[in-house]
A = this chain, B = another copy of it.
Amino acid sequence: MSDKKLLEQLRVDGDPKIADRDAAETFGWEKEEAYELFAEEMEALVELQKQLFADKSASLLIVLQAMDAAGKDSTIRAVLSGLNPAGVDINPFGVPTEEELAHDYLWRIHHHAPADGYIGVFNRSHYEDVLVVRVKGFAPEKVWKKRYDHIRNFEQMLADEGTHIVKIFLNVSKEKQKERFEERLERPDKRWKFRAGDLDDRALWDDYMDAYTDAIEKTSTDDAPWYVVPADKKWARNVCIARILRHHLEAIDPKYPEPEEGLDHISVPD
């Protein structure tokens, strides 16, 4: 499948129709083939990141959202390790602290917006404030309803000021989540990751899908698009995400800076 066609298929314009998307989609790739495609994409990403970091005229922000066990952490490990860690800025947003709660919900987010030259990753984000907050009723509807506008405006400001934004919803199926939860429960080196409370969100699956649908539909814009990436097969997911990132880095089109003037006649003394 061509890059262009793949990206069009993943990108959301309007209702994301999550239920109509196959979380196990592989776009016709075989597993081995996907590994090779991924390695090629990573090579291109490494070079693009070098130039982004040297250029320091723009940044890339990746917002990662998903249900538990959809693979947010493993996406970061797979796609972002291999890049120069000096230019990667990973920010997990967990339950807000007391200090964070004493401010508006975008305050802690804004602080971690990536600087020029950096690839920033939000592992969860301000979207939790229209997802878990809505589903669990942590704020009344009249409060979270206004947030779609805030978020669109906030992201537009970031984009206008040089941050390219890519928002990714890892679309895992409810069956695959069950499988991964069971694996966590069974494997001694993974068991610590499981909390009995993880089942509470699972029980609210449909409410979450409604909240995701609204959030994605209302905030997928030209300058801060949402992509729904099938996440049941990690190897297909990785190719999709690497392609999305390459597309946006190529759009930034970073360049090595011009050398200082007057270097032509310089020689290095012993």
Contacts and interface: CB of A to CB of B under 8 A. Distances in A.
Interface string A170-207: 00001100100110010011011011100100110000
A254 B95 CA distance: 25
Contacts of A202: 268-269
A268 B84 contact: no
Interface stretch (A17-25, A124-132, A209-217, A257-265): A257-265
A108 B59 CA distance: 24
A202 B270 CA distance: 9
A82 interface: yes
Interface stretch (A2-10, A85-93, A133-141): A85-93
Interface residues of A, number: 42
Interface centre among A195, A260, A270 (most CB of B within 10 A): A260
Given A76-B84, A80-B86, A85-B85, 18 more contacts: A81-B82, A81-B83, A81-B85, A82-B82, A85-B88, A86-B92, A86-B123, A175-B270, A192-B256, A192-B260, A194-B260, A194-B263, A195-B260, A196-B260, A196-B262, A196-B266, A199-B266, A203-B269
19 contacts: A73-B86, A76-B84, A76-B85, A77-B86, A80-B85, A85-B90, A86-B90, A174-B270, A175-B270, A185-B263, A185-B266, A191-B263, A192-B258, A194-B259, A194-B260, A196-B260, A199-B266, A202-B268, A203-B269
